[in-house]
Amino acid sequence: MNEKYSCGTGKERYILRIEKDTMGEVELPDNVYYGAQTKRAVENFPISGISLPRRFIRAQGVVKLAAARANGALGLLDKKILKAVEKAALEVMNGTHDEHFVVDVYQAGAGTSQNMNANEVIANRAIDILRGEKGDYKRIHPNDHVNMAQSTNDTIPTSIYISAYEGLKEDLLPALKNLKSVLSSKARSFDNIVKAGRTHLQDAVPIRLGQEFGGYAEAIQQDINRISRASSALLYLPVGGNAVGTGINAGPGFRQSVIREIRKITGVNFRSCKNHFEGIQNVNPALEASSSLRGVAVTLIKISNDIRLLSSGPRTGFAEIILPPVQPGSSIMPGKVNPVMAEMLNMVCFQVIGNDTAIAYATQASQLELNVMMPLIAYNLLFSIQILANGVTAFTLKCLQGVKADADKCRIFADTTLAMATALNPVTGYSYAAEISKEAYRTGKTVKQVVIEKGVLDKKEADRILSPLKLTGK
């Protein structure tokens, strides 16, 4: 039984318990489930005040539950202990004890403190379930029972892959698919609206607004495909490799059994990685997933920047589309409305690119048998998934769904673009068409007006050859 004593007076009175680890005694509030190693980590790493997110903690619960069941099936874990650890791990999965996961993201290398945080919370909660006293590790031990046949080195990357895969599947991919659907819908509704194309931000040949939005929709679909391909690498888990890949201290068949249990718990077809030495040396599936997020961020930056340009004005810009107003745009200029949802999405994407850079540096920092930068990788990858999913959802609902086209403004630009002269190349040749374009610019006339006035084409021919709609391929 652990030593306990009261501190404080009156309403400030509280109970402390003393736990022992391999380095000595540690005082802990008796109402917390974490133990001595977690407390040391809290004291050693007062860095950001940020802990790893809910999805990661859930994944840790999945791994601990699966390992307990695998060890139980091998006859290595007492049935009474197994039942208590199972219940505690399920509670961790469901978020019941999130407030007891207190280790900072910037912590001991590889995530030893994070792994022990989970081991201690589950052990103490399991002791509680058996009506024991927290810290009585003779009954259930964080290392000997909860961490049986495991290591930080295989459970942390496994938790990264499980949490990232579920985040992509359940949050980000649905958000992107909805964005693509709305873009496709806008492409159909804008299909008859002709406007001026622009390259180098200068006049180009006509394009339909629907074609422009259709391009955005296809770009998002390509990113969905890339993320789906990258996420398949997350299905291969190094759990069972233990400290360096040899599976030391694990029972025969543990590696296969723990994977089967993870599949049952998650409903996802996770598999054992092909080479556990490589799987623990490197965290490349996380890098691959992050790279796909960087790709979608680049696509979204382009789309959000275009939305800002196309809606610029309303009097002095392009003003070809009209965005739904969601909030006042200025604290000094009355009536001003800004493209705030597109601006928000830009900021999200800039952050994702920064996160990917951090992940790339952390991934290449692997040395010999282990990558010790995994907590940073876990946090940045899951943060990117979260903010991308939320940012895309907000942008789609609050901006894109309500976008309208100014068909008259688009038509004016289509009629007056100097690049209409491109259609004259087969008739007059490139050089003379360039002269016509320059004269139209000097005189403020349209290309069509110039060619009719010069007698290059009669009105009927000019209407046929210089039809903006026809030039878009319709």
pLDDT tens, position by position, 309-347: 999 999 999 999 999 999 999 999 999 999 999 999 999
- Residue for token pair 């309208």: 404
Instruction: Name the residue type at position 162.
Output: I
Question: Catalytic: which of 290, 330, 331, 467?
Answer: 330
Question: Crossing angle for the helix pair 284-310 and 152-167, nearest 10 degrees?
Answer: 30
Q: What's the mean pLDDT in 17-25?
A: 94
Higher pLDDT, 374 or 11: 374
Q: What is the mean pLDDT of the chain?
A: 96
pLDDT at 1 > cutoff 60? no
CATH class of the domain defined by 154-407: mainly alpha
**pTM for the full model?**
0.95
Phi, psi (rounded to 5 degrees) for 76: -100, -10
pLDDT tens, position by position, 423-472: 999 999 999 999 999 999 999 999 999 999 999 999 999 999 999 999 99
280 and 264 Cβ atoms separated by less than 8 Å: no
The whole-number pLDDT of residue 66 equals 98
Domain 417-471: assigned CATH number = 1.10.40.30
Tokens of 212: 């422009």
Location of each CATH 1.10.275.10 domain in the chain: 4-148
Q: What's the mean pLDDT in 87-92?
A: 98
- Residue 390: pLDDT band with limits 50, 70, 90: very high
Looking at the chain, the whole-number percentage of residues with pLDDT higher than 90 is 96
Question: Catalytic: which of 200, 272, 304, 431?
Answer: 200
pLDDT tens, position by position, 187-221: 999 999 999 999 999 999 999 999 999 999 999 99
At 143, is the secondary structure helix, strand, or coil? helix
Count of CB atoms within 10 A of residue 467's CB? 17
Q: Which residues pair with 203 in a beta bridge?
A: 198
- Residue 5: pLDDT band with limits 50, 70, 90: low
Instruction: Name the residue type at position 26.
Output: V
Tokens of 400: 């894109």
The whole-number pLDDT of residue 474 equals 80
Q: What's the mean pLDDT in 380-387?
A: 98
Cis peptide before 314 (omega within 30 of 0): yes
The whole-number pLDDT of residue 10 equals 58
Question: What sign does the CA torsion over 86, 88, 94, 100 have?
Answer: negative
The whole-number pLDDT of residue 164 equals 98
pLDDT tens, position by position, 156-189: 999 999 999 999 999 999 999 999 999 999 999 9
Phi, psi (rounded to 5 degrees) for 207: -145, 155
- Residue 359: pLDDT band with limits 50, 70, 90: very high
173 and 224 Cβ atoms separated by less than 8 Å: yes
Q: Is 141 a catalytic residue?
A: no
- Residue 377: pLDDT band with limits 50, 70, 90: very high
pLDDT at 13 > cutoff 80? no
pLDDT at 9 > cutoff 60? no
Q: What's the mean pLDDT in 144-163?
A: 98
Phi, psi (rounded to 5 degrees) for 236: -100, 110
Instruction: Name the residue type at position 207.
Output: I
Location of each CATH 1.20.200.10 domain in the chain: 154-407
Superfamily of domain 4-148: Fumarase/aspartase (N-terminal domain) (1.10.275.10)
Location of each CATH 1.10.40.30 domain in the chain: 417-471
In Å, how far from its chain's centre is CA 461? 54
